Every structure is written in structure tokens, then in C-alpha cells.
Amino acid sequence: MNALIDTRRTGAQILWDALRREGVEVVFGYPGGAIMPAYDALLDSPIRHVLVRHEQGAAHMADGYARASGKVGVAVATSGPGATNLVTGIATAMLDSVPMVCITGQVPSHVIGSDAFQETDITGVTLPITKHNYLVTKVDQIAPTIREAFYVARSGRPGPVLVDITKDAQQATTVVQWSERPVCLPGYRPEHRARATDLSRAAAMIDGARRPVILAGHGIVKAEADALLGEFVERTGIPVASTLLGLGGFPASHPLALGMMGMHGEAWVNRAIQEADLLVALGMRFDDRVTGNPATFAVGAKKIHCELDPAEINKNVRVDLPLVGDVKETLRGLLPLVARGERAPWLERIAELKGDSAVRDIQQMPHHGRLFAAHVMHDLWRITEGKAVVVTDVGQHQMWEAQYYKHDHPRKLLTSGGLGTMGFALPAAIGARFADPGAEIWVIAGDGGFQMTACELSTIAQEGIKLNIAIINNGYLGMVRQWQEFFYDGRYSATPLKSPDFVKLAEAHGLTGMRVTTREEVEPVVAAARSAPGTVLIDFRVEQEDSVYPMVPAGADLHDMIRRPSPIVETAHD
């Protein structure tokens, strides 16, 4: 053999080499015909592969891995159905700006367009739900494309990137030239920086405000700006409202932390926003779940919008001063310009707005032997000392978690905010486990969403990993049932839900299952789950027709909230 032939590598080998060079240690995937060359070469790569049970799980695992670590998550699938099964997971990552690279196999290049077996135009399918995507048909394109894909996924406003590689490109060989130069894409300018004059204007607006509120979003977590936000709040004395994905970006235990805003935000948080004279929005995008009716949203407030993506400016809410740039850099620029502030009258007013909320809080209500989901969340927070990584699914339990599990640190709450993807929690938690092998991780899911991806229990068993799973089982698709109760005259269309015996389901997978039906059982069972070496699933049989309060109906004014009837036990249904 001459030296030249020895240095030739197949596209499949180059793919794994390229992933290694991007720092990839683990990928989540499922093999199939068009990706078989890559799977063959995988055996000779140090990269760990986690075999999922459905490709949607692979995408959510890559997503959970990325959210927990801040690194790029990787999912692998074959062509056709393998690739289309990724779609929900890709859309989830797109709406929450999660850096992710999906590798899909594609039919050989000479049959593309012929409706070949397992052929899907996956770059066409994923065009609107990826930050960018690529179809690779030549072996020489694999190395530079993977490099570019990771750069695009992690830079600027992060997002999912899909790389579709034909089977023949994986099989062909080449002598690869690894580039050490930074990626240069002539049309891609992801970095922006707020101008000094705008920062000065912002500082003057902040110093002059008497009733300011900070709106902290996912951008604080992504930009790792939590420490700077803390400094900024200490200096200016401005209270902080968080979006769902912003929770943990500012410590919930801080005296100036108001809590979550929006549809299921606490009443005083939404009222404070409506009474504010200045909103400082940091890394958030005025989602409709946050603003309620945009026409009546904080009409008396000037708005400063610190946001990395220029396309978000004036999209949902008109702002007075956009500061386009990385929120960390913006805060760093603002800090020396703003004056020390105390806002005693404003904080007193907010305390007044809180009023009887604490008394109406379900935590103050007697449970009379019933098990309320909100009590489970509160107890989980107390028992785990608020330190666990909590991965929630979508629905009522997700909102109760956001209200009652107080996060003091970023990347400790992983949830599908933008897309609201049921089935997210279990696979995302598996991904988070690989990002942080030592963390205490709790999956919190409803009985509905859990069943959408419950097949991944097998993945947990095969990989031998430890998770704690709390199923908040109320026998309904609870959030839809709640809307039906409030807005559809209590006509429960397709929301009553029969589930398998979750304890037996866990046991069938070789995992441990437990059941909790009263509040007294919560603490000992949670303690047993935490100390067990393997994965434990707890079936919490909670009140069936409890609702999440307060609630701003979709499209209503932010101050127009449905409050929890008081006292709760008289109104809860049996």
C-alpha cells in the first residue's frame, strides 16, 4: 500500500472525525439503510452513541443535552421516516433557540428526485424549522459542512442545523484537508453590538424611571449573563419578572425576584408590569403567552428591548429603544452607566399588589387528605433543596412546576416553551443526564405527554442511567380540560385519558415504579427514589380536575386574570 491510499478516508469516517473535532462526545440516534455507512464507521470512533426508540426522542435528547450543557447536541437518523421523525424535535429546538446539529442519511445522489425507497426531501421539509440546512452529495463537502453547521448552530442566536448526507458521499473516499481557520460565511453576520449612544440613552431612561421592571428571558441563560444581571439588579434596585424559559436566570430566592410573568404568571407580577413606567426586556421576545393582548400590554411603560436578533425588534410589541446585541455585552456596557437606585415606593406598591395572594396560594390551603399537584411541586422543591435539574413536559404540571419549584440557577429548568411539545420531558432528561452525569435530575410529566415518548424508558434501561420520574397523573389531558372547563362550558371533548399502570410499566422495563396517592406519602417516596441507584418512576395520583391559577385567557389583557377560587377545597371537584 502506498502512503496516499492509507490516508484516504471514507465520508463516513470523516463524519465522525469532524464531529470529534467539534468536541462531540455523545450522539443520539437510530440506524437505517441510508445512514449505514456512518453507523459502520461509528464502531471505530470514540464517540458514544445512544440508541433511541424513536427518532423524535433522539432530537429531544440532543436538545436536552444542549440546554443542560450549553454545548451543541447531536442527533443522527436515516433517510425518509427516520428524518421526518426528527421534525418535531427540530421545531422544538428552533422555537427555543437551542443549538443542535442533526445528521441524516439520504438516498444515493444518482436517485435523488426519483421517489426512491425511504427518500424524503428533508432539507425541503425542515427549511422553515432549521436555522440553516445542507444537502451533502460529495465526500469532499462533508468535513467543511460539519464545521460550518456547528458554527451556525452555536453562533449568534443559536438554533438547529440539519446536514443531509447521501449514502454515496458516505461511502466515497478522499484525502481530507482539515481547515484550522475560522469559518467565514460571507452572508452570515450573527454578531451585533448596541451603540454607545443608545446605551447612554438606555441608562438615562433607567435612571429616570420610577416604576421599572426587568423582563428576563431565555437569552440571559443562553448568553450566561446571569451573574451580570445580578450585578445590574443590585445596582439599580429594579425588580425582575421572568419568562418561563428565563426562570433560573435570576435567583428566585432574591428579594427582587418577582417570579414568572404571563398567562400563568403570578397576579402581582402581571399587575406590576401593567403599572410599570419602564420595561427593560433582556433576551426575551414578547411572546403572546407573555404579553396577553399586545394592544393593552404595559401601555404606560417605555420599553427598552435588549435582543440579539434584529428580526425580533418591534415584532409583537413596539419598543422605544432597541439595543441589538448579545445581552451579556449589553449589560456589561450598561452597568457603569446606570446610577445606584433604590425604589422603595415602587417596591411597596408591588408588595401591596401581592396583597392576599399569599393567603390565596394553594400552599396555604389545607389538603384534607387530597393530593394536589402544586403540593407535589412544592414538596419536590423542598426535599431537593431547589437544586435538582427539572425537565418538564407540557401542560398543567409544567406551569405548576414553574410556579412552585423555585430555581436559583440557570440551566436547571429544561422545558419546551415556544413550541409546547408534549413528550419532550423524558427524552430531554436522558440528554441532560449525558450532559451532567452527576446531577440530580427529575422528569416531571403529565400522564398524557409521558405516553407520547414513553418508549424511551427502554433507552434508560439499556443505557443504565439514573433519572427520577414524576408522573402527575390526573386522568385527563389536564390543560385542555381546564380550557374546556373555562371556555367551552365544561364539555370535556377527548380529554379523559386512560393510562397503563405506570408502576407496572416501569417494572416491565426493569426499572422501579412507585405510587403516591396522599400528601403524607410524598416525602418518604421521593426520598426512596432519590436514594435508589436506578431510575425510579413515581405515579402521583393527583386531584383530577384542579386548574392552574391565575390564568390570563389567550388574547385577554395581562391584568385580566382568572384567580383561584378561595378556599380551594370547597371548589375542587371530587
Partner 1 sequence: MSESRLRTFIAHVEDLPGVLNRVTSLFRRRGYNIESLAVGRTHEPGVSRMTLVIEADDDGARRIEANLYKLVNVLRVDDTTARATVARELALIKVRADAVTRPSVMQICEVFRARVIDVAPAAMICEITGVATKIDGFVDVLAPYGVIEVVRTGAVAMMRSAESSERDTAAPEDRPGARDAA
Residues 493-512 that bind partner 1 (CB under 8 A): none
Q: Is 543 a catalytic residue?
A: no
Cell 386548574 locates to 547
Question: The C-alpha cell of 564 is what?
Answer: 383561584
Q: How far apart are CA 430 and CA 54, in angstroms?
A: 13
Q: Is 224 in the site for partner 1 (CB under 8 A)?
A: no
Q: Which of 85, 65, 62 is nearest to 161 (CA)?
A: 62
With contacts defined by CB under 8 A, name the span among 86-94, 312-320, 428-436, 482-490 that binds partner 1: 312-320
Q: Is 504 a catalytic residue?
A: no
With contacts defined by CB under 8 A, name the span among 125-133, 246-254, 488-496, 537-545 that binds partner 1: 125-133
What is the residue-wise DSSP string for 71-97? Answer: S-EEEEE-STHHHHTTHHHHHHHHHTT
Q: Is 314 in the site for partner 1 (CB under 8 A)?
A: yes
CB nearer to partner 1: pick between 322 and 448: 322
Q: Is 118 a catalytic residue?
A: yes
Per DSSP, which regions of 373-427 are E strands? Answer: 389-392, 413-414
With contacts defined by CB under 8 A, name the span among 191-199, 290-298, 404-412, 420-428 that binds partner 1: 191-199
Neighbour tally for 411: CB within 10 Å = 21
Q: Is 187 in the site for partner 1 (CB under 8 A)?
A: yes
Cα distances (angstroms) measured from residue 210 to each of 55, 275, 343: 51, 11, 7
Instruction: Kindly report the length of the chain.
Output: 574
With contacts defined by CB under 8 A, name the span among 73-81, 139-147, 173-181, 313-321 that binds partner 1: 313-321
Q: What is the DSSP letter of 496?
A: B
The single residue among 48, 81, 127, 355 that binds partner 1, judged by CB under 8 A, is 127
Q: Is 527 in the site for partner 1 (CB under 8 A)?
A: no
Q: How far apart are CA 137 and CA 106, in angstroms?
A: 9
Peptide bond before residue 533 is cis, with ω within 30 degrees of 0: no
Torsion sign (Cα): 44, 50, 52, 56: negative
**Per annotation, catalytic residue among 479, 514, 551, 561:** 479
**Per annotation, catalytic residue among 36, 118, 275, 463:** 118
Q: Is 113 in the site for partner 1 (CB under 8 A)?
A: no
Q: Is 322 in the site for partner 1 (CB under 8 A)?
A: yes
Q: Is 160 in the site for partner 1 (CB under 8 A)?
A: no
Cα distances (angstroms) measured from residue 69 to each of 66, 80, 120: 5, 30, 32
Q: How far apart are CA 98 and CA 386, in angstroms?
A: 24
CB nearer to partner 1: pick between 238 and 324: 324
Question: The C-alpha cell of 85 is what?
Answer: 421523525
Q: How far apart are CA 380 and CA 189, in angstroms?
A: 44
The single residue among 46, 128, 336, 437 that binds partner 1, judged by CB under 8 A, is 128
Q: Is 182 in the site for partner 1 (CB under 8 A)?
A: no
With contacts defined by CB under 8 A, name the span among 304-312, 391-399, 426-434, 443-451 that binds partner 1: 304-312
Q: Is 239 in the site for partner 1 (CB under 8 A)?
A: no
Residues 76-95 that bind partner 1 (CB under 8 A): none
Q: Is 479 a catalytic residue?
A: yes
Q: Which residues are catalytic?
A: 55, 117-118, 167, 479
Using CB under 8 A, list all residues that contact partner 1: 123-124, 127-128, 131-132, 135, 152, 185-189, 191-195, 309-311, 313-315, 318, 322, 324-325
